[in-house]
Each structure stands twice: as C-alpha cells, then as structure tokens.
Amino acid sequence: MESYLRELNEAQLAAATETEGYIRVIAGAGSGKTKTLTSRYLYLVEELGISTANILCVTFTNKAALEMKKRIRRQLPDGDLGMITTFHGFCVRLLKEDCHVVQYPSTFIVLDEDDKAAMLRTVFEDLGITSRDLTVQDAIDYIGWRKGGRGYVKTLIDMNVRHLEDLTASANTLKDKVMYRYFYEQRKCYGLDFDDLVYFTLYILQQDEATRRKWQERLEYIMVDEFQDIDKDQYALAEILSGYHGNLFVVGDPDQTIYSWRGADVKFILEFESRHPGAKTVFLNTNYRSVPQILAASNALIAKNRDRLDKNLTAVRADAPKPLYFHARNNQLEADWITAQMRAMAEGGRSYSQMGVLYRAHYVSRAVEESLIKNKIPYVLYSGVEFYKRKEIKDIICYLRMIYAGDDVAFLRTVNEPRRGVGRTRLAALKSYAEEYRCSLYDALKENLETDLIKRSKAMEYVRMIEKYRAIYDQMELTDLLAAVLSESGYEQMLRSCGEEDRLDNLAELKQAIFDFERKAGEEVSLGNYLDHAALFTNMDQTDRASAVKLMTIHAAKGMEFPVVFLCGLSEGIFPGKRADTREKLEEERRLAYVAFTRAKDRLFLSDAAGNNYDGTARCPSRFLFNAEKENLDYVVELDPALIDEAINQISRTESMEKRAEKKPDCVGRRVRHSVFGSGTVIGVPRDREGYIIQFDTVPTPRTLGLNGKLEFI
C-alpha cells in the first residue's frame, strides 16, 4: 500500500478508495478531510492512472486550493494540477476556452470590485446622477441582486446601442437605467464581474449541448470540498458537469453550514442520497484536533439541532480540563477575566500567538480590545477594523470633537456626513477663505453661511447643532450628549434608513463604552477627558504582531484552529443574535457556536456578562451554554438560580415564537370566530409573531389580536 494510504484511518481509507458513483463524505470538524481529499486525488492518479486533466477538484477558497496542491506536490512533483481550483477559478478556465459560444473573446476581462465601482462612476457622470439620487454601493447591490436570477445573461450578451436605448426607455426606475447602462459598459469592454463568471458558465452549459457534452466527458471525476456551503448555482454546476460519468464525490459537514445568508443551503448535503439513489455515505467521526472534553461539550451542543445527520465525534487525544465558563457582572469584568487567563497562560510558557478570541459580531470586541491594550497584550484583528478605528465610531467621536474643539480634521469628517450638500466645490471655497483669513474651516463656514454658495446647502443645520451643544455640553452627562448628537445630526437615522444593523450595533457599543468611562472616572468625567481616553485607543501602535492574540468573528475563523480559544459574548440577544427568530435561523446560530467550540485544540474558555441588551431587555446566559450540558463544563462561579430561571423563561418565550412561526402557513387562511367581531379569516401573523392578523367579515380593515384574543378556530 502506498505511504499516503497507510496514514489514513479505516473511514478515511474507505472514502479515498471509493472511486465510482455518487459519494458523500460527512467529515466532522478536525477529522482530516483535506488529507482524505488529497489521498483520493493521488489514488485516482497513481493507482487508477487517471490523468490530472480529467479530474476536477473544487474548493471554496484559493487558500484551500493552494494547500491541497502543496500536499499533492509532495507526491506528484511534476505535472499540471490546474484543475484543483475554486468554483470561480474553474468558470474562468471554461470561459477562456468556450466563451466564443456567446460571442465573447478569450481575452475577456474579469472585473474586480474597484473596476465595477469605477465603471459605475462613469455611468453616473454620463447620466448626471449625484449621490443624492443614488450611491455607487446601492447600484452595485441592486445589480448584484438582479443578476441573481440569471435571466439577465441573454440581455448582456445581446447588448448594443439600440438595445440600450430600448431598455433605457422602458425602464421604470433610475436603478434599472443605471443597470442597463452598466451592462452596456461591460459589453463594450467584454468585462465579466464575479457574479457573471458562474452565471455565464451555467448559461453556456445549459444552452450549448456540444460544450456541455465536451466538459462532461472530459471531467471523469469531480470532487467538491465544503459541500455544505454551496449555493443553488454551484450545485447546478456540479450536477451538470457530473451528468455523463456520474462520478461526484462531495465532502462536507452539515453541522458547519453557516453561510445561508450567502445562499448556502444545508439541504444539498442532507438530501444528497435521496437526490442520487444508490449514493454511498462515509462518516469521518475521528477528531484529531480537540481534546475529549471540548468534543463532549461540542457534541452535546450540536445534538440539539434537528436539520442534521446524526454523528458523534470521538477524540484520539489525551484528557484535559473541561471548557471553563465565567459569568461576569459586566462587559469589562468579562474582558478583564479573559486577559487575566491569557496572562496566566503566557507566564506558564504559552505564546499569545496560540490564543484566539472569537465572537458573534464585531461590536463585541470593544471591551476585549480595551482590556488587551490596558494589559499591554499584543493583538491583531482579523476580517475587521479595530473598534475605535471603525468609520461610524470615528465619525461620532469627531462630532464630539467638533463640540469640544472644532479642529479641521473633525470638521472634514462630519460636515457632510450625513450629506448636507457641502461637497467638493463648497469645501474648496471654505479652504480658500480659511487660508486667506487664517481661521479654522468651521469658522470659515460660520462666516459664510449667508453667501449664495453656502446658503443653498444644509450647512446651517450643522452649525446650529454644534453651537447648541457647545453652549451646554459641560452640563450634560456624556451618554446624554452622545444620544443627542446621534439623533440631531441625523447620523443614526441615516444608518437605520440604509439598514446598517452592524454599524448601529457598534454605535450602541460606543454608548456602553462611554457609560463605562463615566462610571469609572467619577468626578473627573468630562468631554475632554473622554476624548483623551478615546485617543489612546485610536492612536495605539500595535507593532508586535508575531506573538499576538488573534481576534475575529466566528465566520472568519471557519477552517482555522487555535490551541486556546476564548468565546465571549455568550448572551441571549448577542449569540444567538436577536434576529434568530425562526427555527432555521436558530439552528444556524447553533452551528456557528459549534464551529467556534471546535476551533479549540487544548483549552476552551466561554464567557458572558450581565447587563442590558441594546433593546433594553436584561441579558441572560446563552442557551448554547445550557445546550452544552453542565456536566461538560467547569463553572468559575455557580449561576444564581434566579438567573437560570430568568434565562430558561426568556429562552422558552423565544422558542415558542419560533414554533408559532413554523406554523404560520398552517394558520394563514384558517377561519376563526371571535366573541365580539364574529367570523373572519387569518391573513398573517404580526412581525413579533405574537398572535394573528385577521380580516373579519364585518370589519372593513384587518385586526391584529394577541394570543389571548379569545379566538376559536372553526
């Protein structure tokens, strides 16, 4: 037996040497799926003699593809491994060969995000569109959404001046006019953006039988990694390409499906056998990453999900301490506990680089970052911006600086955010005035409010707000001042109208940061003191990255592992998040917690903090802590029985809402009888799902009745 096969366990060997037909490998976290995939590839090439040109191995990231190639190169130092790629990489390869089918040259351009934005800015300029009418990002989002239906491909292929004129004339909205003009600009330069790569490939394969058969015959073996994360278009590609030889090998873990917001559907891997009669399934349940105690908690947690295949990971490593759980009185104490554990381990010889801090959303990192800085522990933030460097945080701190000092940097950041018509032309005029009269830009604005140029903007509203709070800020609580600025500046409303929930969460966390500062500063609290305090964080210099703690969201940590993991913010309303209001969403949140648990190799630390969520509800420990089962965790302090009761009651209320949400299709359309209103028909449920919306026969408009509305279904 070849050496690479001798290194496999029994299940891995079975998966690697099962070559024909539809095969599903359910690979649990840390079970060696990459080793299994690479071993199967080598088995096909070295034992069966299959040419690498006839094998397609699709991974989800370039990093994963490079890692697989690197491992295979150790055994196959020569030869072309170009068919180990991402879905989009494969699509580029197919299009380079066959885009002539849709009258595109092989020299077509792949447009990145900057190219798209630049092209749209040209469109805006030609059409006379300003940011008041539409933003470039809104246009990008709209075009991406419209492309999702795939019906646009023929329109883009056939686009010319006459089609553009006809389509623009018939367009009902400005967004559609921009979209058609963007299509025209794309077609002119034969540019395909990231969305187009998959959609054009599918279009060609579905419309052109000769091309479809050529690729089906060429690709004798197809392997797809991370199959739990594929969307409907990637699934369609895999199905079409494997349609001739019928050899499709998929690897994934339904318990790690965490990208439904990106189109991933766990049903593709769960229903693989029912969609392909005769398909075989191999389970990889031996975990080589985590100690048994971490796996016990992880297995107990994920077992609470319904949409999954039953499996239980087993460990090969020696026993170690159980995951340690700490319930803190507030966010700062939670963060300080985390950094105290880090310092203790560092003093025991463990490097900070072996430690990862994971959280559900970026705003949770604020207290941890502050504690790390205070304790001089180096850290690096992945897939995000350090809290005090995030745009919305810097914007609002600059508003506070305008009230306190009025420096030019703060002025330029705030005067047109939200937009007040103080754009490039007006700013240029203010800068010229300020240079001539040696004054600040803000003073230049105040002195030019009555000029024709400035009068046509909304600059007066900005000045009135700044002047109002300059007069009274030293008599106000900082938290009240912040709330007033967020409201009267229009900044908070701007984010709400754009649906920027993450940025609103960050601002809510800023409110908490200022509240914490007020509590600690006592009599010395002042706006100036707080701005100095914030500057320590915005100006910090994190130069030592070699031995640094890694901070990241759980989504960013997918595919990674750490000897030590700190999972913080385990409170209801944070994790699971407040928008997890259906069983499907809650199960995805639980899968996300499972991914976080299973990133840990040696030690897992779990924590939450008391206090209030941003909607005013009291925080209680996350259901995921209880799902992991008490016998699988060590508690630093025992939870108060009253807190446990409160948590159970809160969890029960949300789960009852989720169950009612599941029953929504059953109740809509049902006839009901009410003691006062008489008979009617259920036409929906309210957004909070606490009741029914009913159109009564005797009342002209619908009525929303709570669950205690004394209804009788008939």
Give catalytic residue positions: 33-34, 225-226, 256, 599
> What are the start-end ranges of the H helices in 276-379?
292-302, 331-347, 365-374
3-class secondary structure, 105? coil
In angstroms, rounded to a whole number, what is the distance separating the alpha carbons of residues 253 and 255? Answer: 5
**What is the number of other CB atoms lying within 10 angstroms of the CB of residue 587?**
23
Phi-psi domain of 226 (left: phi exceeds 0; alpha: psi -120 through 50; beta: other): left
In angstroms, rounded to a whole number, what is the distance separating the alpha carbons of residues 708 and 714? Answer: 17
Written as one letter, the residue type at 167 is: L
**What is the number of other CB atoms lying within 10 angstroms of the CB of residue 130?**
12
Distance of CA 44 to CAs 1, 50, 196, 237, 661, Å? 14, 6, 32, 22, 48
Distance of CA 159 to CAs 23, 190, 558, Å? 42, 11, 41
In angstroms, rounded to a whole number, what is the distance separating the alpha carbons of residues 566 and 359? Answer: 9
In angstroms, rounded to a whole number, what is the distance separating the alpha carbons of residues 53 and 42? Answer: 13
Length in residues, the chain: 714
Q: What is the dihedral of CA 440, 444, 445, 451, to 10 degrees?
A: -170
In angstroms, rounded to a whole number, what is the distance separating the alpha carbons of residues 441 and 579? Answer: 43
Q: How far apart are the first and last CA of the chain?
A: 70
The answer to whether the CB of 315 falls within 8 A of the CB of 290 is yes
User: Which residue from 37, 50, 46 is spatially nearest to 1, judged by alpha carbons?
Assistant: 46
The answer to whether the CB of 167 falls within 8 A of the CB of 180 is yes
Residues in Cβ contact with 166 at an 8 Å cutoff, skipping those fewer than 6 apart: none
Residue ranges with strand state E in 35-107: 55-59, 84-86
